[in-house]
Amino acid sequence: MPTTLFKSLFSAQTALILSITLLFSSCDNKQADPNDRENRQHSTQAPHSAQETQQQLKALTADANLDFLAQMTPHHKMAMMMADEALNKASNPKTKDFARLIKQQQAPEIQQLKSWQQQWYPQNPFSQSAAPPHAHAISLTGPDYDKQWTREMIRHHQDALTLSRQAINRNSRPEIKKLAQQILSTQTQEIHLLEAHLESLS
């Protein structure tokens, strides 16, 4: 196991969260549009549909470690794709800042997940089908794009929390549980910052 990479991955998390907080601490305290607030609450608080839940359950195997690697790796890759799209299309500088920080955080996590997969399951490459169906190219432009991207990234982070809790509650390896706990902590904080950013866009 690449111990140096694993340790450096987590030592960077505190600095990353501080950077995000500083970037978004200057968000304007505007009065949010009631309709936009309702949409934000729905995207962050509403449970997944029964169909989505069943799809998640069907994806599970008897191996908690394989499930986490097979689901979180493409999930992180989708976040990177969403971040790349935002860097090209977002009109608000803070949206682009957040996209850069997501790439900074999740790139080494993807590297760690791939390393574990190659080490533990060299003959069992996992499917890319676990990527969340709601994460797709956004056809909107301007401020509307920034709002929709932020809503979708909040929901994407919520999916990561679900996968992380699942790994923590199952019979996963200590390394998996440690990474899952770190994702749970980091992305919970990021959700709050994304919500503040969404409100500032209203």
Q: How far apart are the first and last CA of the chain?
A: 46
Per the domain annotation, does 27 fall within a domain? no
162 domain-assigned: yes
Q: Burial letters for 103-125: b for 16+ Cβ neighbours within 10 Å, e otherwise?
A: bebbeebbebbeebbeebeeeee
> Is residue 35 situated within a structural domain?
no
Q: Would residue 45 count as lying in a domain?
A: no
Task: Inform me whether the pLDDT recorded for 26 exceeds 80.
Answer: no
The domain in which residue 94 lies consists of: 60-200
Q: Is residue 118 part of a domain?
A: yes
User: Model confidence at 19, in pLDDT bands (50, 70, 90)?
Assistant: low
pLDDT range class, residue 92, cuts 50, 70, 90: very high
Alpha helix segments (H runs only) across the chain? 3-24, 34-45, 50-59, 64-89, 93-120, 142-169, 174-200
Structure confidence at residue 201 (pLDDT): 94
CATH number at residue 95: 1.20.1260.10
Domain tally, the chain = 1
181 is a domain residue: yes
